[in-house]
Structure 1
Amino acid sequence: MFKRFQTRLIRNFKGPLLFTPKSRIRFFTTSITRQQTSSIPNVMQAIEYYGNKDLRYVTNKPVPSIQHPHDVKIKISHCGICGSDLHEYLDGPIFFEGETNPITHKHKAGQSIGHELCGVVVEVGSEVEEGLKPGTHVVVEANGTCLDRQYLLKDEPEDICGACARGRYNACKKLNFYGLGFSDGGMADYMVVTSNRVIPYDPKVIPDDIAALVEPLAVAYHGVRQSRVDEEPKPQTLIIGGGPIGLCTIFALKGHKVDVKDIVLSEPAAARRELAESFGVRTFNPFEFKDADEQIKQLVQMTTSNAGFSHVYDCSGNKFTFNTMVKTLGAGGVGTNLAIWPHVPVDLYMLDVTLNELVLTASMGYTKEDFQLVVKAFEEGLIDPKEVAKLVSKRVALKDGIEHGILDLINNKEKYIKILLHP
């Protein structure tokens, strides 16, 4: 029965999964490409990953080709530098660990990095849906999961992890990302992805020079959805940490129609607090109070009747911010972790959770639906592109991306929010 359930789930997956009666993948050997634009070169520039502190800018990387009838080739417009890219450079290989990816069998060394990207479709495979054609502006949901394994490796449907079997593929046990070990990413002139991973957008609504930020916005949007904030009649929310994801969480809450007056950002850096205030939210400087208990007391006093927040989002990820999240929640409140933690324990007193009937949850990455909802929020005017543009600290040509992008961000982390690279 479980086998039948998995097969049915895979068949209902909105991607390029085509089964024969024996549940084997059917590959097409003719007419792989349906449409393409002219003047696509044979080689391109890219930033490639080779290991710890080993990034290389190249100008002779072969332009990827359509290999599967559901492939889409994209000409990259912009690609953001994510904290994950910095961790791979400084502490990696992490996602890049191992010689080849177990799903794609592609060599990890020499892959172009970058997963926060936007671009224009220039070529599509023969089985790509008609609405997705050359000239379409798209963003990319960068997940690589067990569901991709089904058509890339012709595995049996039951050879998927429990998370993917339950439809939670963003928590796949073999999760990788385009640009982080799964396949080539967006710090290049071109990349190829499967059509189920692309989301169209209107450049008149979301300008190309900020569309790459849909990816971190989708991370924040998933976290807010996990918290079920829309079930609260009048939510009062606290965001801990004003980095890129913390600031994006402001927009995710706006997308859920939370009143900006009921959003508080706790952040020690003055420049980031000022930026958040320009979005209409209230801010709090935790460093004004050396004592943690006093910080918590002052935060709670920012809520109606000193009742505590209905929703708290930890976008920082340490034992102090975790404690603040738990202690500032009101009765029935929901605390959501969006941060990627190191492998360290935290103190948690369950009586605090029980007496206040708290809900503690977490958020991992995103799904395609999060991208679609972010695009919809732009279209409905819930997210202002002019405000989102303030998150972009500078734009750097790809050829200068290592020195003036990645290394500059590492050495001046407090100076920048988001750096975008462009060809």
Structure 2
Amino acid sequence: MRAIAYFKQNDIHFSSDLPEPRIGADDEVLIDVSWCGVCGTDLHEYLDGPIFMPKDGETNPLSGKQLPQPLGHEFSGVVAEVGPKVTKVKVGDHVVVEASLGCLDTHRWPKTRLSCTQDKPCGACRKGFTNCCEHNGFTGLGVVGGAFAEKVVAGERHCIKVSPDLPLDVAALVEPLSVSWHALRSAGFQKGMTACILGAGPIGLTTIAALKGAGAKKIVVSELAQIRRDFAQSIGAEVFDPTAHGTNAAEVLKKMSGDDDGFDFAFDCSGVKATFDMGLAFTTFHGVCVNVAIWGHKPVDYYPMLVTCKEKILTGSIGYTTLDFESVVNALQNGDIPLDDCKKLISGKYTLEDGWEKGFMQLMHHKDKCIKILLTPNNHGELKSAK
């Protein structure tokens, strides 16, 4: 089949003769891919990898699978075939797939090197925190082939049915939206609260959409780049340029909350010391600072009394669960997350054949101008119908 695959370090390219995936376990689902978004993680696999991908000649410990493998974990599609024990979806259903994999999936892969199973999972999976699985991996990132391909196989428990009325290009955004939704849910965000987002990259922007869907009273985005601020403003957030206020930036932001004491929540989607410090500074008493960003291996100086004296909470959020996917799908289908806002996040749509040059390379060289680029194998004429 046609796919954009990871072959080895610094070698990602389109191929027309990758093996087509097949259902192996009784609870697996074969999906005809409609759209798949290019993620920063995909870019990092090329620039800095292998990170999640197995090294050349090695196999993934969770699945026992080796390279080459198609990339792609933000996707939508149509069910093409189901295993004999599948009851959640049927052939022809439109679906999105929660891409994280772990202990509860090892029964699908006879060559797994892990001792954990559905019956004896790790502590995180046993307690329902599957996003924190000790052996966490992802579809399209080394465990099994992803959705920059004509077809992909997923476990039934990861498949979430979506309405035929929900455009499948927008449905491909459910994955990044779920990252943001999980950050809100895990940190305890409630309707009517205020929030400031630090950084207007793709996840910062999907956090705007998630906050709107959750009924935020006020949403402010702090971002250095004018083009990103303009984009955040276009989907309903107030914006702030921290460089225009120097050392007074946090105090000015506090006043933008509508309460001189500051925001209820800070969502750090940048992951640098300046945003870490600012979030602690502009949140209110009992405010919550949520780290959503993935940091490099560098510690930051942190004075605990900044949290203690105002009883603030400093927490983190990683990934998502199927519950977050289901919640985002419901929010899209009932209008809590506006479809028009989501459509604005899509910067371009291309075929797999053009995906490396027009997708990957464009994002690597013009990341400030591009938010989310979607690729399609054009199984059902998606690109033609999208024009």
Q: SS of 2:355's equivalent?
A: helix
Report the structure number with the largest CA radius of gyration. 1
Amino acid at match of 2:282: T
- Please say which of residues 167-176 and 334-343 is displaced more in the overlay: 167-176
1:101 paired to 2:55: no
Cross-structure match for 1:364 = 318
Unaligned runs of 5+ in 1: 1-43
State which of 193, 204, 213 in structure 2 corresponds to 1:246: 204
Once the two structures are TM-superposed, the CA of residue 241 in structure 1 deviates from its matched residue by: 0.5
Once the two structures are TM-superposed, the CA of residue 276 in structure 1 deviates from its matched residue by: 1.7
Kindly report the root-mean-square deviation, in angstroms, between the aligned alpha carbons of the 2 structures.
Answer: 1.5
Deviation by residue 1:105-124 (Cα, 9 ceiling, x = unmatched) = 111x2000010000000111
Query: What is the distance in 2 between the residues matched to 1:190 and 1:248?
Result: 27
Query: What is the distance in 1 between the residues matched to 2:177 and 2:259?
Result: 32
Once the two structures are TM-superposed, the CA of residue 85 in structure 1 deviates from its matched residue by: 0.4
Cross-structure match for 2:240 = 284
Q: SS of 1:186's equivalent?
A: coil
1:47 paired to 2:4: yes
Amino acid at match of 1:228: G
Q: How does 1:63-74 map to 2 (within 5 A)?
A: 63-74=20-31
Once the two structures are TM-superposed, the CA of residue 271 in structure 1 deviates from its matched residue by: 2.1
1:320 paired to 2:260: no
Q: SS of 2:4's equivalent?
A: strand
Query: What is the distance in 2 between the residues matched to 1:196 and 1:236?
Result: 34
Task: Give the alignment's TM-score, normalised by structure 1.
Answer: 0.85
Cross-structure match for 1:267 = 223
Q: How does 1:26-175 map to 2 (within 5 A)?
A: 44-98=1-55, 99-107=58-66, 109-129=67-87, 131-153=88-110, 157=117, 159-175=120-136
Task: Give the alignment's TM-score, normalised by structure 2.
Answer: 0.93
Unaligned runs of 5+ in 2: 378-387
Amino acid at match of 1:280: G
How many residue pairs match? The answer is 371
1:183 paired to 2:144: yes
Query: What is the distance in 1 between the residues matched to 2:93 and 2:289?
Result: 39
Query: What is the distance in 2 between the residues matched to 1:212 and 1:295?
Result: 36
Once the two structures are TM-superposed, the CA of residue 278 in structure 1 deviates from its matched residue by: 2.1
Query: What is the distance in 2 between the residues matched to 1:203 and 1:81?
Result: 23
Quick one: structure 1 residues 366 and 156, their matched pair in 2 at CA, closer, same or farther if it must change by over 3 Å? closer
Once the two structures are TM-superposed, the CA of residue 223 in structure 1 deviates from its matched residue by: 0.4
1:330 paired to 2:290: no
Cross-structure match for 1:8 = none
Query: What is the distance in 2 between the residues matched to 1:217 and 1:79?
Result: 14
Contact kept, 8 Å, 1:226 with 1:361, in 2: the verdict is no
Q: How does 1:192-231 map to 2 (within 5 A)?
A: 192-204=153-165, 206-230=166-190
Query: What is the distance in 2 between the residues matched to 1:388 and 1:181?
Result: 28
Contact kept, 8 Å, 1:240 with 1:312, in 2: the verdict is yes
State which of 299, 313, 331 in structure 2 corresponds to 1:377: 331
